[in-house]
Amino acid sequence: MVRIAKLVIDPAQLDEYKAILQEEIEASVRIEPGVLTLYAVSEKDNPTHFTILEIYADSAAYKMHLQTPHFLRHKASTKDMVKSLELVETTPLIPGMKIK
């Protein structure tokens, strides 16, 4: 399962958001075997605009991720920082490709 999350963050809370996001991503990848990658980037010209590539082993792994304490803490901590969120469902071109 591959999804892209597009977010716009409140500029006044940008540094705090980045710290919370980094903590959540590192925990997810380290603890959850079904989280294959969470790769976050921000735009150079618009540093409050983030895109996160989310790759899960399957939809069950994604559903489990949404229930983990670190994800729930992340959502609660950042809810007032996120100005907009768009979740884009995707179809992988080469679904069996391994991540190095």
**Spatial contact of 68 and 28, defined as CB atoms under 8 Å apart:** yes
Q: Using one digit for the tens of pLDDT, what is the confidence trace for 26-67?
A: 999 999 999 999 999 999 999 999 999 999 999 999 999 999
pLDDT number for residue 47:
97
Domain that holds residue 68: 2-89
> Is 74 a domain residue?
yes
> Is 19 a domain residue?
yes
| SS3 labels along the chain | CEEEEEEEECHHHHHHHHHHHHHHHHHHHHHCCCEEEEEEEECCCCCCEEEEEEEECCHHHHHHHCCCHHHHHHHHHHCCCEEEEEEEECCCCCCCCCCC
Q: Using one digit for the tens of pLDDT, what is the confidence trace for 63-85?
A: 999 999 999 999 999 999 999 99
- Check pLDDT > 90 for residue 96: no
**Spatial contact of 59 and 1, defined as CB atoms under 8 Å apart:** yes
- Check pLDDT > 80 for residue 89: yes
> Is 29 a domain residue?
yes
